[in-house]
Chains A and B, each alone.
Chain A
Amino acid sequence: MADSAGAPRPSSSVKLVLLGEAAVGKSSLVLRFVNNDFQENKEPTIGAAFLTQKCNLPTRTIKFEIWDTAGQERFASLAPMYYRNAQAALVVYDLTKPTSLIKAKHWVAELQRQASPGIVIALVGNKLDLTNASAAAAAGGNSEDEDEEGESGGVSGGGDESGDARKVSTDEAKTYAEEESLLFFETSAKTGHNVSEVFTAIANAIPETSLKSTRGPGASNAVSRGGDEQRVNLTGPRGDAAKDSCAC
């Protein structure tokens, strides 16, 4: 975590909120990002959980204050409490559950209207390890393992025979993400595939201007470093670089 490069990079904190249907793997994504860990049976989040993690970019350090919210429908009315002042949001759906994408769209709409203007939203399709694509995409060798992962807790057994439980095509979600100008990723919290990339991309997408106004000790350090930060790399292969830069 500690900055190994000589001069301390400016650090600033970013409030990030996770939203999405129940049991899509929100908490598992966070757990993977924060502790590089995965738990089969994670307790459902009650209200919201709070975690922090730093993400080192070439020019600065972003300290994520992560609000991981409860997914069950009736908790939705609590959500404004958590996404208030958020600069970034991760809207998560389950690749194997089409309804979860609908719910994700609702969340995107809610954020676009109710959250702080300029909020960076990333759409994340989780549970890539349950799909065929995972074999090619995931670096880890255990992606063939069909155990249900994360919060799925026994809901998505359907794909076992075909070996591909994917129900939401990449194109469909990607098209939607482009329409709404969202960052888009498909991840697996179980294998860790693409997880840190999501957070790095968000860190890069946070406009410098909004960092200046953040609270916390890092805020004052956030000096402008040119247009570098404005560059948003949606699809670029960040791979190892991201893994290095992110303290996870």
Chain B
Amino acid sequence: MFNISNLVQKAQSAAQQLIDPMQGLNLTNSDRNPAKSTLFQHQFRLPSSQTPLYEIPAELTIPPSNVTQGDKGGDRGWHYAGKLHLSEAYMCFSTTPSSFVSTASTSTSSAFTGQTHGGGPSGNGFTFPLCAIRRVERLNSQSFQFALAITTWNGIPQDATKDKDAQKDKSQMREQRITIQLAGTRHACERFCDGLKKGLRGGVGNVGKLKKVVAECYSEYLLRPEDKKSVNPPDAGLGMMFKYPGDPKKLRDRAKMRLWAEYLRDNGRNATIIRQPTFHKLIRVGLPNRLRGEMWELTSGSMYLRLENPTLYTDTLAKFSGKESLAIDEIEKDLNRSLPEYPGFQSEEGIGRLRRVLTAYSWVNPEVGYCQAMNIVVAALLIYISESQAFFLLSALCDRLVPGYYSTTMYGTLLDQKVFESLVEKTMPVLWEHLVKADVQLSVVSLPWFLSLYINSMPLVFAFRVLDVFFVEGPKVLFQVGLAILRINGEELLDATDDGAFISVLKGYFSRLDESAHPKSENPKLRAINRFQELMVVAFKEFSGITHSTITDLRLKNKDAVLNNIENFAKRTAIRNLGPDSKLLSPEELGAVYDRFYTILYERQQRDQNIQEEKLRRAKTARPSAASAFSDHQDHGVEKGRVGLGPSTSLMDYDAFREFLAAMSKWAIADSPASPRRDQFPDKDQYFSGFRKSSNNLLSPWGSRPEPAEHEFMQRLFRRWDVDSTSTLTLQNVVTGLAQIKGRRDIMGTITYFFELYDDDGDGKVDREGILRISEALLFLSRRGLEGSLSASSSNPSLSTLTDVNGPMSPSIGGTMNERFLGSVSAFIRRCFEYADPDHPSNHVEDATKAAPSKTTESDESQTPDDSAFAIGDDEDEEDEEDLLAFDGPKETPEESPKESPSAAKKKAALPSNPPALGKPDAGNEMSRSVSKAHSEKANVALDPSNPLHMTLPTFRMVVLADELLEQFFESSFPTSLHVTEGLPSANPSTPSLTTFSSFGRSAANSLPIPQAAASGATRGLRGVLDNIVTDASRVAAEVRRRMEEAQRELEQNAVPGQRDEEEDEDDDIRVPKSAGGYGGDAERRSVRSSDLDLLDGADAEAGASKGQEGSSQSILKPTEATSSQSGAANTPTQRIVEFEG
């Protein structure tokens, strides 16, 4: 998978780059163009709360007493020219060129030099927490305008002010006092000093925190005068109890300790240490046991994390004490098998520490939780550091040093393997060629190296030496060491012809690392060099060209391929493990469902993020001065949004579910721009209340997608699919849900399914309310026409009579279909009530006798109002016509197919001029009239709330089967209406952008003229009226009666004009397509299908357009909400900006 596909991918990526270097790379903005604050934080290993506020060129002077090496002759001490940076709580100095202020371009910021190339503390300098600075004085200086003398808290013991001994200590101790001369314009210097003053004032409160943090550092104990050493030393890891690995003599631990003590005395300790060239040298030769942990903490920056929140570790443990999780189960499995050869981990003490650190981390970072290999790494760390230090060091590792290594998809690990492979190919082409030829996968060998940071590949003593450098210089060290291993063993590896031989060569090498590298050499000095030292030299000399930016670039280049691999695997696995229900769907359908599911979730997440960012930006522009202090925090969050990056989200809430349906089904797309409509669904059980709030956004929550409809049916469907009642759906839920509808393909199943949807208490009965709701759902589902095979309908006698009535005009057949369906539904209601079982049997007979005459009278009249009811200028109707026409006669299609665009255009034209008057509201009225007509039929008998009744499944089945159209609806239209595989986003990527564009145009054109009434008027569509009717059964009765009378009156007076309206509309529709050319006369069903898709697209565009409208109307509707954080004037423009982006 890795070798051959590697070549293919390389070729592909090369080809891609020829076309467009960035195309195909799904990179986040921060990947390509890291924020300055990110660079700043990486350079000085600061917490993500820090941002570069000021920077100024400066010269650092360390007084002679502090100088350990170098120009000792000069009594002015040691000078370093570099840059001084100030963030909220830190002052940093580095001789490494760097620039982080907002005016500097990114390219200058990334032009790093030094050991770490911006990936860690490099060069000479310091990183002082402002709370560690005791005093800043301005000096008089000849050469510089501004000279600051900085005195730190270095070495001042905690209880300094209390006793006399402290006074004595103080006098013994040299104060750490350094001078910094600022080189800049007077203005710049003053600004910097002002910032510093502010920062220092803010830092005062943290001095106590600092002292607490520092107290855990071994250096404090080390540098304490001898007479005060009686106090217990701070915890420097399990090694203090169980011995540190390796022979201290051989490691020359004592000598190292002396050197470090001297260095720390001169240059400050822990938080106030100053980096001079010796610092880096001392690290490269290996840290002494008891200082190792502290230096790791310091160089990795985890000490600053601890300083930020010193009690986080203990707090976390306390907070989650006694709680259980999957991660904890996994941790427990591995506790006894983490560095089991080290005595500390054969004891309850060591295992207890390991358990607590891993557990605490799994709580603070649940997305990572626990990954095997973390146990080994943490166990190794715990030999040298205390629990809480290990906890923060682990955070620094997972978040910054090896991001994504331990995530649930381990994408960081896989990515770095790719990077390593390409580095091998570049630096050792011969070996690489051999590997390819022998079909040896490098990552098989190298993956454990990286994942466990060499800890279980090399003997521990050497692995720790690698770690020493790794924590200062960053991940590139892992690559340098890996390359050096291969280089040194190159000859032997070229002889290895399979994985096994390859592995055994390296195994043998690791076991002999302590042997002399040149055992036969005459030179005793050369003989004394062991293989590990040789390895370090090769790694850092020969591969010094491998820098932080090399790694960053290669990661960027390979990221997409790696993520795609992971995602393909995840998809395959997820689909395969979906359980028996998934067998009801085809593999293509499953794949499509998977894609749709995650696309929706991902897009929603992106949109949320954009909205958040936009809010932030607005906040920023509102308060430009303070803004910089809070900016850019988003960039440091864990990347999200791709399956490959980990399960950032895998649950679908109700709004996402609506979107999911809207992407598949015409009926799930809203036909009017209407968020307020939600209010018309009073929900007693609060199940959906949460979702409503969340989607009530200032910005469109739907992005470029069509706004999904909201209907009680969808809520029921959601609840039905949500088998675990978590208010969210998993992929499994969705697949099971879909499989039950689409997978069965048998009418009885679908009918039962539908019935159960409305059988709230599961007692096999649906009451009057339920019956009304079912009919309402049927109308909802059919309002954009029926899909599926309705061919049988042509043989329907009622159709032929209808066509006779309508004359030979074939386009009206479409209208007829809807009319017919409406008729069916009305008959459905009638029959339901007719055959329903009364809850009180005594009423039954009476009902039946009443029902019979009313039915006969109604059936005669019912046709005419129905005809006019459904067809008024509602462009959705035409979609249906097509389906029908495709079967009835191909010759009709040319006239019909491109109909959507003109009708949409017509609507567009109509809406701005007189929005509430046309289209839907009318249709709604007509519709409701017809429904009320239907209602009226039974109103006389059944709607009387004093006669409770219910319908059973057999009754429901019978009623459905009694009507051919309904039967077809359940047999095919409903299951077919969920287009799982068609029109996936990838198939027609042009749609979203197109929609965005049109929506932008719309919103710009219409944002102002649309009055509030328009929006609310439009929302009160047909379903609004229906809903109102249905919500209250007693009101229904009254309403229905009233409307029935109205309808009859209208029928007598207006039946003919109504008809005329409809025909005019259709004339319009026919005319335009003719001029537009249309499709070939013998278009097959397939082509109609594709035109169907076009229609959907058209609908998208329309919905998008209405979305634009919604945005603007909302802004008018809710000015208070929108303007809570800024001025009202800024509101509308900003919103438009976001929509444009969306």
Contact = CB atoms under 8 A, between A and B. Distances in A.
Interface of A: 13, 22-23, 40-48, 50, 52, 65, 70, 72-78, 80-82, 84-85, 106, 109-110, 113-114, 151-155, 215-216
B408 A52 contact: no
B372 A72 contact: yes
B372 A70 contact: yes
Nearest to A71: B372
Given A44-B373, A47-B451, A70-B372, 8 more contacts: A41-B340, A43-B376, A44-B376, A46-B452, A78-B413, A110-B573, A151-B333, A154-B332
Interface stretch (B25-33, B315-323, B438-446, B859-867): B438-446
B337 A81 contact: no
A97 to B, nearest CB: 11
A47 B442 CA distance: 12
B2 interface: yes
Contacts of A47: 444, 447-448, 451
B96 interface: no
Interface string B411-448: 00110000000000000000000000001010110011
Given A50-B500, A81-B443, A151 B337 contact: yes
Query: Of residues B337, B340, B441, B573, which shows the largest number of chain A Cβ atoms within 10 Å of its Cβ?
Result: B337
A22 B448 contact: no
Contacts of B338: 43
A100 B452 CA distance: 26
B337 A153 contact: yes
Given A41-B337, A77-B414, A48 B570 contact: no
Given A81-B441, A81-B443, A153-B334, A76 B573 contact: yes
28 contacts: A22-B333, A41-B340, A42-B337, A43-B339, A44-B376, A45-B372, A47-B447, A47-B451, A50-B444, A74-B371, A75-B372, A77-B569, A78-B413, A78-B447, A80-B1, A81-B1, A81-B2, A81-B441, A84-B1, A84-B441, A106-B573, A106-B576, A113-B572, A114-B572, A151-B337, A153-B335, A154-B332, A215-B498
Interface of B: 1-2, 329-330, 332-340, 371-373, 375-376, 407-410, 413-414, 439, 441, 443-444, 447-448, 451-452, 456, 497-500, 503, 565-566, 569-570, 572-573, 576-577
B337 A44 contact: yes
A77 B571 CA distance: 11
A77 B410 contact: yes
Contacts of A75: 372, 410
A106 B332 CA distance: 24
B371 A215 contact: no
B330 A72 contact: yes
Nearest to B371: A74
A146 B342 CA distance: 26
A128 to B, nearest CB: 20
The 6 A-B pairs with the shortest beta carbon distances in the complex, nearest first, are A47-B447, A41-B336, A47-B448, A46-B448, A41-B337, A44-B372
Contacts of B1: 80-81, 84
A80 B414 CA distance: 12
A106 to B, nearest CB: 5
A39 to B, nearest CB: 8
Given A22-B372, A154-B333, A81 B444 contact: yes
B570 A44 contact: no
A80 B444 contact: no
Nearest to A215: B498
A46 B456 contact: yes
Contacts of A82: 444
Contacts of B572: 110, 113-114
B566 A77 contact: yes
B576 A110 contact: yes
Contacts of B334: 44, 153
Nearest to B341: A43
A242 to B, nearest CB: 24
B856 to A, nearest CB: 61
A82 B576 CA distance: 20
A50 B333 contact: no
Given A41-B340, A44-B375, A46-B372, A78 B414 contact: yes
Main secondary structure of the interface of B (DSSP, over half): helix
A147 to B, nearest CB: 12
Q: Which of A44, A47, A75 has the most chain B CB within a 10 Å cutoff?
A: A47
A74 B408 contact: yes
Contacts of B339: 43
B333 A155 contact: yes
B577 A106 contact: yes
A109 B575 CA distance: 11
A55 B503 CA distance: 21
A215 to B, nearest CB: 6
Given A47-B447, A110-B573, A215-B498, A153 B409 contact: no
B456 A43 contact: yes
A159 B443 CA distance: 40
A76 B503 CA distance: 22
B563 to A, nearest CB: 11
A74 B408 CA distance: 5
Contacts of B407: 74
A84 B443 CA distance: 13
A195 to B, nearest CB: 20
B452 A50 contact: no
B376 A46 contact: yes
B410 to A, nearest CB: 6
B332 A153 contact: yes
Nearest to B373: A46
A77 B1052 CA distance: 72
Contact of A154 (B330, B336, B570, B577): B336
A65 to B, nearest CB: 5
A42 B407 CA distance: 23
B689 to A, nearest CB: 35
A190 B721 CA distance: 46
Contacts of A50: 444, 499-500, 503
Contacts of B447: 46-48, 78
Contacts of A65: 498-500
**A42, A43, A81: most-surrounded residue (chain B CB, <10 A):** A43
A219 to B, nearest CB: 11
Contacts of A48: 444, 447
Contacts of A216: 497-498
Contacts of A72: 330, 371-372
A38 to B, nearest CB: 14
Most chain A beta-carbon contacts within 10 A, residue among B1, B414, B503? B1
B475 to A, nearest CB: 17
B576 A80 contact: no
A215 B444 contact: no
A52 B500 contact: yes
Contact of B409 (A45, A46, A77): A77
Nearest to A50: B503
B500 A80 contact: no
A203 B298 CA distance: 55
A52 B570 CA distance: 31
Nearest to B447: A47
A52 B507 CA distance: 14
Contacts of A77: 409-410, 414, 565-566, 569-570
B313 to A, nearest CB: 24
Nearest to B410: A74
Contacts of B409: 74, 77
B589 to A, nearest CB: 17
Nearest to B446: A47
Nearest to B345: A41
A104 to B, nearest CB: 12
A33 to B, nearest CB: 16
A77 B412 CA distance: 12
Contacts of B500: 50, 52, 65
Contacts of A153: 332-337
A152 B332 CA distance: 10
A152 B408 CA distance: 22
A179 to B, nearest CB: 14
